[in-house]
Amino acid sequence: MTTTALERHATADEPGRPPLLEVKGVSKRFPVRLGLMKKGYVSAVEDLSFTVKPGTTFGIVGESGCGKSTAARLILGLFDVDAGDVLFEGRNVVSARRMPNIKEDSRALRKHMQMVFQDPHSALNPRASIGEIVSFPMKVHGYPKDERRERTQWLLEQVGLHANHASYYPHQLSGGQRQRVNIARALALSPKLVVCDEAVSALDKSVQAQVLNLLQDLQAELGLTYLFISHDLNVVQYVSDEVLVMYLGQAVEVTSAERLYAEPLHPYSQALLASIPKIGLDDEPSVEAPRLEGELPSPLDPPSGCRFRTRCPVAMDVCAEERPPMVEAAPEHHVACHLYSEGSVEPLAI
């Protein structure tokens, strides 16, 4: 098999509309010092692939430390990748290979990929006014002064702030207001893709709902595509069309939000779902939901084969030996687990 199921899925789907973002086999290791001479590597992201269709919301969910924030930064070119490629509208913006013109291309293209950051405290320059913060990206891209002022005002109003807020400083705003500024800045260059990295995690529940609604509202108005990253499965499910479940740097399951909710296949996904309180009454999980036990293994020395096997209630011998390939167990439902094979959602007899 030369192409993975996921890649086939991406190209086969809606031939008229090419994917906005294609992530192909992206990996990243960080060097760490273990002692005076010893050096080790933390495997943050390993062979990550997925595609995002324009106008949709693609969610990535996983425990903190699973590499999802790193993945976001790799896609946006904030870190260099060790392996793999990222294509935006079919053009390479990030690559481990040396390619001519990628620098100029990606600088122009990256304008269309912006990010809403997690921490409302550290995401805004404390010494800059809100107006300066929101207009900075436009300044970098040479927008004329009048246009900058006008657009800043428009953006602030778009995210539910007042134009007067432009003269405020970050510390004079509430967490929710700061997050709105964060969003306004991400929209300043009229991006097509907005990566939301735990964009609501630091907020109170009630404010979370407001900001999520604002994001959805803006998506409808501006035709945005979101890559929505969170540890909170509830939040991801609420906003996403498709969801990728990540564990210790690897994708374990990719499918639509509805299917993941209704019929999670990977034991890890099942455990994640079981750990959140459900609202439905007769909503029986399709598989006996295992609880997550034990600690997340150290990414310094990830388990061999399937990285989840040390915490998996149904781990088999093969799990330690072979990394399970991503298979399309059901239409539009991909899972990386030795329990499943291509086209079969029935777990193999153990």
Partner 1 sequence: MATDAMTTDAAALARQWMDADAPASPESYLQAGRRRFLRNRVGLAALGVLGLLVVTAVAAPVLTTYDPNVGVPADRLLPIGADGHLVGTDEQGRDMLTRLFYGGRLSLIAGLTPVLIATVIGTFLGSIAGYLGGWVAAIVMRTMDMFYAFPAVLLAIAISASLGPGLVNVIISMTIIYIAPIARVAEAATRKIVTAEFIEAARLTGAGTPRIIATQVLANIFSPIFVYASGLVGLSIVIAASLSFLGLGVKPPDAEWGFMLNSLRGTIYVNPWVAALPGLFIFATSISFNMLADALRDALDVKD
Q: Which is nearer to partner 1, 78 or 99 (CB)?
A: 78
| Gap between the Cα atoms of 222 and 189, Å rounded | 12
Query: Interface with partner 1 by CB under 8 A: which range of 38-46, 137-145, 274-282, 323-331?
Result: 137-145
Residues 129, 201, 256, 341: which binds partner 1 (CB under 8 A)? 129
Which residues make Cβ contacts (< 8 Å) with residue 144, sequence separation at least 6?
none
The alpha-helical segments, DSSP class H, found in 111-250 are 130-140, 145-158, 175-187, 205-222, 233-239
Q: Which amino acid is at 267?
A: P
**Would you state the structure tokens that stand for residue 302, as one six-digit string?**
């990830």
Quote the least distance from Cβ 213 to partner 1, whole Å: 4
Concatenated DSSP letters of 50-65 = EEE-TTSEEEEE--TT
Q: Output 151 or 338, the one with its CB closest to partner 1.
A: 151
Site for partner 1 in 190-229 (CB under 8 A): 209-210, 212-214, 216-217, 219-220
Least distance to partner 1, CB of residue 298, Å: 22
C-alpha–C-alpha distance, residues 171 and 159, integer Å? 18
Site for partner 1 (CB under 8 A): which residue of 24, 151, 185, 266?
185
Tokens read off for 196 = 């939301």
Q: Should residue 125 be labelled a site residue for partner 1 when binding is judged by CB under 8 A?
A: yes
Report d(CA 299, CA 18) in Å as an integer.
35
Shortest separation between residue 212's beta carbon and partner 1, angstroms: 8
Least spacing, CB of residue 98 vs partner 1, in Å: 20
Distance set, CA 255 to CA 5, 97, 168, 238, 252 (Å): 12, 30, 43, 14, 10
Q: Which is nearer to partner 1, 6 or 199 (CB)?
A: 199
Region binding partner 1 by CB under 8 A among candidate stretches 23-31, 160-168, 274-282, 328-336: 160-168
Residues numbered 79-118 forming contacts with partner 1, rule: CB under 8 A: 107, 110-111, 113-115, 117-118
- The length of the chain in residues reads 350
For residues 28 and 311, which CB has a smaller minimum distance to partner 1 in the complex? Answer: 28
What one-character-per-residue DSSP string does 68-105 give? HHHHHHHHTTSS--SEEEEEETTEEEEESS--TTHHHH
Helix (H) or strand (E) holding 245: strand 242-247
Residue 189 within binding range of partner 1, rule CB under 8 A: yes
Contact between 115 and 194 (Cβ < 8 Å): yes
30 binds partner 1 (CB under 8 A): no
Nearer to partner 1, 209 or 330 (CB): 209
Can residue 313 be called a binding residue for partner 1 (CB under 8 A)?
no
Restricting to residues 233-262, name those near partner 1 by CB under 8 A.
Answer: 238-239, 241
List of residues contacting partner 1 (CB under 8 A):
57, 73, 76, 78, 107, 110-111, 113-115, 117-119, 122-129, 133, 136-137, 140-141, 157, 160-162, 164-165, 167-169, 172, 177, 185-186, 189, 209-210, 212-214, 216-217, 219-220, 238-239, 241
